[in-house]
C-alpha cells in the first residue's frame, strides 16, 4: 500500500514537473514520455474555409483523373490538391486564421464522398505555427460530415479529435464554397 501511494505521488510530482519543463521547452521537441505524463487539454476551435476551385485566385488544382472519372457519377478517382484560406467568420474578408492544405479525391463509386487528408496550418494567435492533421471520409453533400484529427504539431502535439463541417455556401457548378469547421482537439497541455 505504502509502495503504491509513493509511486502515485511520484507520478503526480513527475506530471507537475514535466509540465514546467514542457512550458520551458516549447517550441523545442519534448520527449514523448514526458508529453504523455502531462495533463490533458480539450481545445475547441471554429474556422471557415474559403475554397476556390474556379475563377481568379483559384486555390484548388486537379492532380489527376482516373480512366473512369469522366464517366463516373461520383467522378470516382479524381485527386485534387489545395491551399485554402481559413478565416474567423464565413466572410472571406474576416480575420485570417491560417491555411488548410492538402489532398482530397473521390473515393466512393456510388455516392459522392471524398477521401480527405489535410493540414491546418495556423498563422495567428496562440496557435500560430502549430498544425493539426484532419482526415477521413467526407460525404460532401450530406447534412452531417464528420472527420477526425489524426495528430498535430507544437501546441497540438499528440492530438486527436473530432471535426464536423458543413457548407455555408456552395456553388455546384464551380464547386467554390465556404465551409464551416468545428474542431474538438484533445491533447497534452502545452
- Only segment of 8-16, 26-34, 123-131, 149-157 that touches ligand NAG (CB under 6 A): 123-131
Q: Which of 70, 142, 174, 189 binds ligand NAG (CB under 6 A)?
A: 70
128 binding ligand NAG? (CB under 6 A): yes
Using CB under 6 A, pick the residue from 34, 41, 65, 89 that binds ligand NAG. 65
Q: What is the rounded distance in angstroms from the CA atom of residue 86 to the CA atom of residue 97?
A: 5
On whether the CB atoms of residues 15 and 134 are closer than 8 A, the answer is: no
Q: Which residues contact 171 (CB under 8 A, 6 or more apart)?
A: 177
Q: Are 152 and 163 in contact (CB under 8 A)?
A: no
Which CB atom, from 7 or from 67, has the smaller least distance to ligand NAG? 67
Taking CB under 6 A as the rule, which mask of x and - marks residues 14-43 in contact with ligand NAG?
A: ------------------------------
Question: Which of 95, 142, 174, 182 is close enough to bind ligand NAG by CB under 6 A?
Answer: 182
Query: How far is 63 from 86, CA to CA, in rounded Å?
Result: 22
Question: Which one of 31, 109, 141, 142 is in contact with ligand NAG (CB under 6 A)?
Answer: 141
Picking from 97, 102, 95, the residue whose alpha carbon sits closest to that of residue 116 is 102
Amino acid at each position: 500500500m505504502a509502495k503504491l501511494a509513493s509511486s502515485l505521488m511520484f507520478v503526480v510530482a513527475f506530471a507537475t514537473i514535466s509540465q514546467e519543463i514542457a512550458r520551458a521547452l516549447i517550441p523545442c521537441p519534448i520527449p514523448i514520455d514526458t508529453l504523455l505524463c502531462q495533463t490533458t487539454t480539450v481545445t475547441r476551435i471554429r474556422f471557415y474555409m474559403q475554397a476556390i476551385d474556379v475563377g481568379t485566385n483559384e486555390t484548388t488544382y486537379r492532380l489527376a483523373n482516373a480512366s473512369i472519372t469522366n464517366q463516373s457519377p461520383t467522378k470516382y478517382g479524381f485527386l485534387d490538391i489545395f491551399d485554402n484560406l481559413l478565416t474567423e467568420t464565413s466572410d472571406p474578408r474576416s480575420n485570417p486564421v491560417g491555411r488548410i492544405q492538402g489532398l482530397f479525391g473521390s473515393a466512393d463509386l456510388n455516392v459522392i464522398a471524398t477521401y480527405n487528408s489535410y493540414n491546418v496550418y495556423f498563422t495567428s494567435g496562440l496557435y500560430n505555427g502549430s498544425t493539426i492533421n484532419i482526415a477521413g471520409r467526407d460525404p460532401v453533400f450530406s447534412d452531417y460530415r464528420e472527420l477526425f484529427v489524426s495528430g498535430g504539431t507544437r501546441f497540438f502535439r499528440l492530438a486527436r479529435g473530432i471535426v464536423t463541417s458543413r457548407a455555408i455556401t456552395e456553388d455546384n457548378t464551380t464547386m467554390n464554397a465556404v465551409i464551416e469547421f468545428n474542431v474538438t482537439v484533445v491533447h497534452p497541455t502545452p
